[in-house]
Structures are given as C-alpha cells and as structure tokens.
Amino acid sequence: MKILIIGGTGMIGAHAALHLREHGADVTVAARGPISDSSPVARFPLLTGDYTVPTFTREQLSRFDAVVFAAGQDVRHKTADDNPESFWENTQSVGVPRFAALAKQAGVGRFVQVGSYYHQLRPDLADHNPYIAARKAADEGARALADESFTVCTLNPPSIIGAVPGASARRYRRMVSWAAGNEPDIPDFAPAGGTNYMSAAALAQAIQGALRNGESGAAYLIGDQNLSFRQFFQLMVDAAGGRRVITERDEPHPLLPDTAIIQGRGNTLAYEPDPGEVRRLGYARDDCTRAVEALVDVVVTAAH
C-alpha cells in the first residue's frame, strides 16, 4: 500500500511512518519544508506542501492508495499574532475537510484522520472552546465525505506520550531536566486533575488498524491509561532517575499551566475505550510507563 502521511515529520506522524514501513507499507512523508538530518524519517521520500494554504494538488495525491492526516494543529501552534478565527479555519474546520475532499477527488481510497478526544468524550466543551469546536468540525467534515469509493474514519486519541528529535524533544527538555532533579526553581508537585494517556507507539498501531479495518464514516475514541497528573509527573521522575515523590496541589504549575488543561484544573477526563474497537484497530494497552521511559531517552540523547 502506498501511503502519504501529512505531518509525517512530526512526533505522531514519524511514529506512524516508521511503524507502517516496518509492516511493509510504501510510505511518503509530507511536510512544509526539508527534513532535518536528525529526524527518524530523514531518509523517507518527501512531498513538500502545506494543507492550510493549500498547495497540494490532485496529481500529487493521485499516486497514493491511502492518506494519514496527522498534522492537525492545536493551541501550541497558534501565536499571539494569529487571528484566532482564521487560524482555526485554516488548520482545522475548513483546512482538514478541504484536504480530505482533494484526496477523494484524486482517487485516494482510504483516509485516516488523527483528531483529538475532547469533542467525542465531552461534546459540551465544543460549545465554548474555539479549538475544540474546530476539531469537531474537522472530524465531522472529513467523515461526511465517506462513501463506497472513499473510506474515511477518524481516530480521536487523548494526550500522547512520545518524542522524536526536534520540536517534540525540545518541548519536553525542561520537564525531563526537572524530573531528573536539575531544576530547583520548579516545585515538586503536580496540579490536581488528570486525563487519559496513550503512547505514540500505540497510536501508530491504531493508525495501521484504521487503514486496514476502519469502518467508513466512523469516529473512534481511542486511549490507554487514566492517570492523574501526579501519576504522570511521578512516571517522568522515575524514568529520569529523580528519586523523589511528587505530591498533588490544586495550584497552577509551570510545567502544566492552566491554559493547557482544557477541562480545567482539578477535573479529570477519564474513560475506557470500547473493547471491540480496540480489537478492531489492534493497538496495545498499558504502554504508558514504557512510553515515558522512551520519551526521556529521546530527550536526554537529543540534549547531548
């Protein structure tokens, strides 16, 4: 199967690219610019383009059997200079369905969108959060294109644990340094609340399962382990060799600010994925501890 991964140089896309190639797929990664030599997908075929503008063409997409969309941008990507309405339209509510429609017109047979769990788990959050509303529109807009000729489904995962050299490794650098005990100015507590977590490796498995067995028009709420933020912070400390116990306080924390806790500090987004859907997609469970250890290894290695 010839597969194009939009966002293939990012953390989720790179994990998916490596996993799919390992299982025999012919994988091309798409990105807005050249691939860094340190990237794990540096030697993959590259298609340069930007779905938000957009610059991809039907002719470019026509040579692929399937497309994995793993480039949906979130609040971390929006700058203070961006107009919120146009940003969410271009990156989510308009940009994603528009790109899916282009893939359909190009004759691509299968389309897997990697979305986010908020709107499927808590639809009410989309009523007042523009980001979640845009994610919901992107999900529903792409799936509305499903028919006998175009199998499209969405995976809506929770917080993903993973890193590859580059932006994702840099994003975790300070947290790993703190976990190892090298940031005395950062306090040893976690904010109250929690969520579901899932490894990037398990998500890559789910992407492969969706390409093979995904039901056209379906949205899958996927996930792995429900952890408090304290438990997640403790996993980081243990993996980094920090040798201390993390407590919980209902206070803001610099490593997980209130703006990053969509459901609000002190609240928990916990759920169990449907067992039948887990079997259909074929992804691993109970993988978070291993994933945190792998994340720490990537960040430490990238720093040296």
pLDDT single digits (tens) 190-246 = 999 999 999 999 999 999 999 999 999 999 999 999 999 999 999 999 999 999 999
| Same domain flag for 64 and 100 | yes
What CATH number should be reported for the domain holding residue 156? 3.40.50.720
Q: Is the pLDDT of residue 42 over 90?
A: yes
Residue 137 CA, distance from chain mean position: 17
Instruction: Report the SS3 class of residue 192.
Output: coil
Q: Which long-range contacts does 241-250 make (Cβ < 8 Å, 24+ apart)?
A: 241/180, 242/179, 242/180, 242/181, 243/181, 244/181, 244/188, 245/188, 246/188, 246/189, 246/190, 247/188, 247/189, 247/190, 248/189, 248/190, 248/191, 248/192, 249/189, 249/190, 249/191, 249/192, 250/191, 250/192
Q: How many domains does the chain have?
A: 2
| Same domain flag for 17 and 155 | yes
Q: Assign 88 a pLDDT band (cuts: 50, 70, 90).
A: confident
- Determine the structural domain holding residue 91 and report its residue range: 2-161+198-225+273-281
| Same domain flag for 112 and 79 | yes
| Same domain flag for 144 and 246 | no
Say what percent of the chain tops pLDDT 90: 90
| Same domain flag for 262 and 147 | no
| Same domain flag for 142 and 232 | no
| Same domain flag for 149 and 210 | yes
The pTM of the full predicted model, rounded to 2 decimals, is 0.96
| Same domain flag for 81 and 137 | yes
| Same domain flag for 293 and 211 | no
What average pLDDT does the structure give for the chain?
95
At 234, the amino acid letter reads Q
| Same domain flag for 206 and 119 | yes
- What integer is the mean pLDDT of 99-110? 98
> Where do runs of H (alpha helix) occur along 30-128?
58-61, 84-88, 95-105, 118-121
Q: Assign 80 a pLDDT band (cuts: 50, 70, 90).
A: confident
